Chains A and B, each alone.
Chain A
């Protein structure tokens, strides 16, 4: 029985004997580690999927893609690759109809060699056998349901009728985003011309996928890159292919992960308070142990053993938690994780989390354990209790903690420089808060000293906050930091929500028609039952601005926009209803020499740094057009209504080769019928249903929002944990205070009031500090990074402050009751006796 390590037994029994310590410790770690583990597992599941399915997802060893037909040089190179080792694809949007329903499609026309890697999974014949008879198409489920079809039925695409041969279950190289325009229909390249959709089409994506051995692949890649230099054609090998899965879910997961890292740091602070409270409690026992001759290293080791053991335990619990989350919450991740990706808790993640838990515990408890060095064995002879060790940190510790944070950030961001930036940012924030709480303490002190506070209880409360110096700092800093993290998340979320709402304001167009011809206007207006707005689009490149060529401009202005790209020019007689003239007396002035007037949009004019009268030279499909800026326009609001950087007079542009699109606002329920009618009469026109796109987008964003909310909830929990831990860690001091006041004859009612006032003063100032910093951060992020208007979350702020106030009152009441009723009288008796 007396075998084994009694030192270890002492600390474990004491620790477990006071349920509050292990519970707080575990919860603090559990929440943050569990969240981390879930996200890390998701990340590695996605990475794993991308790695093992890389070739299938990319489609080939080399892929070339362009919005223009391939050049002769490119075709020359492609012709050297055997037919069976290449797939040519054409992708574009188009309308399909059957019976009285119509649907927007994303059509993919392929060679029958498709797919070179991976499998096209179908519903009836399982795996596609590379056969597609003339007039046969494959469609995804959505097409069948929307058009009310079954396999074998017929549907019309453009000018041709097709038979549905099978249903697509999984496409190997389809971008794995949950959100895309149009339902998939696959047809053979041989049937492409029948649809009549080629030719006038403006947005066809040309793509070729090649199967090559390594040597050939490198040579072909280089040759293609050489042949496409300076054009918008993208050539990728399977290595550097950026599949959209790793982009969308990768970015979002990383964003969530950074949130969770912030929560981990917060929970570290919680740990620190818990352990400090525990060590404070153990002072007497530690003094006895030292007096009996226990070496300091042995004493410290018993603590390290306990805490690291608890860290491992918490990790095990976190593992269980994350397993549950992944097993039962899989559907919540649908927005960011495609269904094909199989989810499990990854072992590498478990190892990572264990290391983080151990490192965090070691770092956060190190200074407390080191303070055991100062235990004086002689203290046992004198019954007075030493004050609890203050919140001391050594330079070495700060360095180590910074290094650990940097390592974690670098690991997460996958980039040392980014890691450095984030770490520095966090340190600045921590310093800010420390400075702020220092100021607060000073302010309180001078308030109390100058006698500005008349009410005696308030004065006492302020004095006692001030007297608790170090603890107030810790309490305040952690609480306000927790509030800041939560506040930032809430404010950011709110702004994004607002943005989304304002993207589709009530009176904005909800029907978009692409590829309209001038002679179709009247018929379309009839079908819509109202006049639609038509926008002509002429494609052109910029040759020079203010006499500078695009190359020079790029060096001078940076990469806000690619000046070498194709721009959409338009013409009109008057300012669009969604815009107004910012500068210039009229949209256009007069033609001077060979220079025609052009009206510019203010944001682009700012970027190009042009003034009224400055010269811009265009190349309109081979013809040079000299123009001078005659006016600068600005949009009333952002939204889906079209806008053009450059607008000319109709007489300048009307005869140039052009495409047109139209927008209109009609009752949402009429859109499907109008869509079908247009699809039947003008198969070349693509109709987008703005209302349903907005709805789709909204539900996608809602899923993301929900995820963000879950993780915000986690940080709220972490904040609460810190709040409770710091209460526990200061309870000894508070107890003593209350005993003194009691001894001096203070009424129980006033004792309660005093405690509550203290909490409220502290809590509210922490709320104001954390809240304003969160507000500031979000403001900077939304306006500077995202270029979005910032909107202040009044409702949430009010609700949150009410909730905080309520929580503070409840906790302080419960807490005071516990402290006052159970222990104060004992202490009073001790003081007197």
Chain B
């Protein structure tokens, strides 16, 4: 079953009076539960693509259809609700909220959806091996711990699809390995689809499929 699909997706940014076309006619299909790696040179448009797929930004033209719903037709607020319920995101530079501790950061997506599920939060804290750190604030954590917190946060709402933009880009090798291992385990366990941007061929090799972007197109 197709979970996410794009149709002739274009994205351009205005640069002064001119504009640069970053994505030019992207068509992809992602099945539920699928694990897809996206590769490409720096500046090729991977993050831009992810931002469109995750409803963080609107396409210049073309469609993004998530579970039979055209994201382009949704208002800003409807998109926010979508991100809240159906989409998880793990960023290269973690983006934890500095004034919330580990536990609160993880619970935050539930909280904004007016949900309360301490068991789920606790289970995820256990799963990312941060039980001893749950009252710590982000500035007290190592990079690996931060990213594990971010992973737990991304999964707490049981999203249909999880995006990760170079999740190990800011980590050393050991931490990177641990984070990837966790991410993949949790993805398998939850059955969510995973789209991951990476420069690591070894990681890409683990994916069901690899998409390579070049000059704004799939090559």
Tell me the A residues contacting B by CB distance below 8 Å: 1-3, 5-7, 9-10, 13-14, 17, 284-285, 288-298, 376-378, 380-383
Nearest A residue to B93, CB-CB: A383
Q: Is the CB of B165 within 8 A of A6?
A: no
B132-178, CB < 8 A from A? 153, 165
User: For residue A5, which residues in chain B have a CB less than 8 angstroms away from its CB?
Assistant: 111
Alpha-carbon gap, A291 to B104, bound state (A) = 17
Ordered by A's residue number, 21 sampled pairs between the chains whose C-beta atoms are within 8 Å are A2-B103, A6-B108, A6-B111, A10-B100, A13-B99, A288-B96, A288-B97, A289-B112, A290-B80, A292-B84, A293-B85, A294-B112, A295-B77, A295-B81, A378-B51, A380-B56, A380-B95, A381-B56, A381-B91, A381-B165, A383-B93
Q: Is the CB of B57 within 8 A of A14?
A: no
Please name the 4 residue pairs, one residue from A and one from B, whose CB atoms are nearest each other, closest first: A293-B84, A293-B83, A2-B107, A13-B99
- Against A, the Cβ 8 Å flags (1 = close, 0 = not) of B67-105 are 000000000110011111101010101011111100110
Alpha-carbon gap, A396 to B101, bound state (A) = 40
B183 within 8 A of A: no
Q: Is the CB of A377 within 8 A of B56?
A: yes
CB distance from A374 to the nearest CB of B (A): 10
A10-B100, A378-B57 known; A2+B121 contact, CB < 8 A: yes
B109 within 8 A of A: yes
Nearest A residue to B153, CB-CB: A292
User: For residue B81, which residues in chain A have a CB less than 8 angstroms away from its CB?
Assistant: 293, 295
CB distance from B201 to the nearest CB of A (A): 23
Alpha-carbon gap, A10 to B100, bound state (A) = 6
Alpha-carbon gap, A217 to B77, bound state (A) = 70
User: For residue A290, which residues in chain B have a CB less than 8 angstroms away from its CB?
Assistant: 80
B188 within 8 A of A: no
Q: Is the CB of B84 within 8 A of A294?
A: yes
Alpha-carbon gap, A297 to B80, bound state (A) = 11
CB distance from A833 to the nearest CB of B (A): 12
CB distance from B106 to the nearest CB of A (A): 8
Q: Which of A14, A17, A289, A293 contacts B82 (CB under 8 A)? A: A293
Q: Is the CB of B100 within 8 A of A9?
A: yes
Nearest A residue to B157, CB-CB: A293
Q: Is the CB of A289 within 8 A of B97?
A: yes
B50 within 8 A of A: yes
Alpha-carbon gap, A353 to B94, bound state (A) = 44
Q: Pick from A5, A288, A290, A296 the residue with the most CB of B within 10 Å.
A: A288
Alpha-carbon gap, A295 to B113, bound state (A) = 9
Q: Is the CB of A295 within 8 A of B95?
A: no
Alpha-carbon gap, A9 to B137, bound state (A) = 13
Alpha-carbon gap, A713 to B46, bound state (A) = 59
User: For residue A295, which residues in chain B have a CB less than 8 angstroms away from its CB?
Assistant: 77, 80-81, 112
Q: Is the CB of B77 within 8 A of A291?
A: no
Alpha-carbon gap, A9 to B98, bound state (A) = 11
Alpha-carbon gap, A2 to B87, bound state (A) = 21
User: For residue B84, which residues in chain A have a CB less than 8 angstroms away from its CB?
Assistant: 292-294
- Against A, the Cβ 8 Å flags (1 = close, 0 = not) of B36-56 are 000000000001101100001
Q: Is the CB of B99 within 8 A of A17?
A: yes
Interface of A is mostly: helix
13 further interface pairs, Cβ-Cβ under 8 Å (given A13-B100, A289-B97, A291-B95): A5-B111, A6-B100, A7-B111, A10-B97, A13-B99, A14-B99, A285-B98, A289-B112, A295-B112, A378-B57, A380-B91, A381-B47, A381-B165
User: For residue B82, which residues in chain A have a CB less than 8 angstroms away from its CB?
Assistant: 293
Q: Is the CB of A6 within 8 A of B95?
A: no
User: For residue B111, which residues in chain A have a CB less than 8 angstroms away from its CB?
Assistant: 2, 5-7
User: For residue A289, which residues in chain B have a CB less than 8 angstroms away from its CB?
Assistant: 97, 112
Alpha-carbon gap, A381 to B197, bound state (A) = 12
Tell me the B residues contacting A by CB distance below 8 Å: 47-48, 50-51, 56-57, 76-77, 80-85, 87, 89, 91, 93, 95-100, 103-104, 107-113, 116, 118, 121, 153, 165
Q: Which of A288, A293, A383 contacts B80 (CB under 8 A)? A: A293
Q: Is the CB of B118 within 8 A of A2?
A: yes
Nearest A residue to B110, CB-CB: A2
Alpha-carbon gap, A292 to B163, bound state (A) = 12
User: For residue B100, which residues in chain A have a CB less than 8 angstroms away from its CB?
Assistant: 6, 9-10, 13
Alpha-carbon gap, A5 to B100, bound state (A) = 12
CB distance from A308 to the nearest CB of B (A): 20
Q: Pick from A7, A14, A17, A292 the residue with the most CB of B within 10 Å.
A: A292
Nearest B residue to A10, CB-CB: B99
A7-B111, A285-B98 known; A1+B83 contact, CB < 8 A: no
CB distance from A831 to the nearest CB of B (A): 16
Nearest B residue to A7, CB-CB: B112
CB distance from B98 to the nearest CB of A (A): 7
Q: Which of A9, A17, A297, A378 contacts B56 (CB under 8 A)? A: A378
Q: Pick from B77, B95, B96, B116 the residue with the most CB of A within 10 Å.
A: B95
Alpha-carbon gap, A382 to B165, bound state (A) = 11
Q: Which of A285, A291, A296 contacts B89 (CB under 8 A)? A: A291
User: For residue A10, which residues in chain B have a CB less than 8 angstroms away from its CB?
Assistant: 97, 99-100
Alpha-carbon gap, A294 to B82, bound state (A) = 10
User: For residue A3, which residues in chain B have a CB less than 8 angstroms away from its CB?
Assistant: 116
Q: Is the CB of B107 within 8 A of A6?
A: yes
CB distance from B139 to the nearest CB of A (A): 11
Q: Is the CB of B93 within 8 A of A9?
A: no
A376-B57, A381-B165, A383-B93 known; A294+B121 contact, CB < 8 A: no
Q: Is the CB of B109 within 8 A of A293?
A: yes
CB distance from B81 to the nearest CB of A (A): 7
CB distance from B77 to the nearest CB of A (A): 6
Alpha-carbon gap, A383 to B166, bound state (A) = 14
Q: Is the CB of B77 within 8 A of A298?
A: no
Alpha-carbon gap, A407 to B97, bound state (A) = 41
CB distance from B74 to the nearest CB of A (A): 12
Q: Pick from B56, B83, B118, B165 the residue with the most CB of A within 10 Å.
A: B56
Alpha-carbon gap, A772 to B96, bound state (A) = 51
Q: Is the CB of B121 within 8 A of A292?
A: no
Q: Is the CB of A291 within 8 A of B97?
A: no
Q: Is the CB of A291 within 8 A of B112?
A: no
CB distance from A35 to the nearest CB of B (A): 34
CB distance from A223 to the nearest CB of B (A): 74
User: For residue B99, which residues in chain A have a CB less than 8 angstroms away from its CB?
Assistant: 9-10, 13-14, 17, 285
User: For residue A17, which residues in chain B have a CB less than 8 angstroms away from its CB?
Assistant: 99
Q: Is the CB of A296 within 8 A of B103?
A: no
Nearest B residue to A291, CB-CB: B56
Alpha-carbon gap, A382 to B87, bound state (A) = 19
A6-B111, A9-B99 known; A296+B77 contact, CB < 8 A: yes
User: For residue A284, which residues in chain B have a CB less than 8 angstroms away from its CB?
Assistant: 95
CB distance from B161 to the nearest CB of A (A): 13
Q: Is the CB of A288 within 8 A of B95?
A: yes
Q: Is the CB of B80 within 8 A of A296?
A: yes
Nearest A residue to B117, CB-CB: A2
Q: Which of B50, B85, B87, B110 contacts A381 (CB under 8 A)? A: B50
CB distance from B10 to the nearest CB of A (A): 16
Nearest B residue to A373, CB-CB: B76
Alpha-carbon gap, A293 to B48, bound state (A) = 18
A291-B56, A295-B77, A381-B47 known; A6+B91 contact, CB < 8 A: no
Nearest B residue to A285, CB-CB: B97
Alpha-carbon gap, A375 to B48, bound state (A) = 17
CB distance from B84 to the nearest CB of A (A): 3
Q: Is the CB of B83 within 8 A of A292?
A: yes
CB distance from B105 to the nearest CB of A (A): 9
User: For residue A294, which residues in chain B have a CB less than 8 angstroms away from its CB?
Assistant: 80, 84, 112
Q: Which of A6, A292, A381 contacts B51 (CB under 8 A)? A: A381
User: For residue A1, which residues in chain B have a CB less than 8 angstroms away from its CB?
Assistant: 103-104
Q: Pick from A3, A5, A291, A297 the residue with the most CB of B within 10 Å.
A: A291
User: For residue B104, which residues in chain A have a CB less than 8 angstroms away from its CB?
Assistant: 1-2, 6, 9
Alpha-carbon gap, A100 to B191, bound state (A) = 111
Q: Is the CB of B56 within 8 A of A292?
A: no
Alpha-carbon gap, A6 to B96, bound state (A) = 13
Alpha-carbon gap, A381 to B167, bound state (A) = 12
User: For residue B121, which residues in chain A have a CB less than 8 angstroms away from its CB?
Assistant: 2
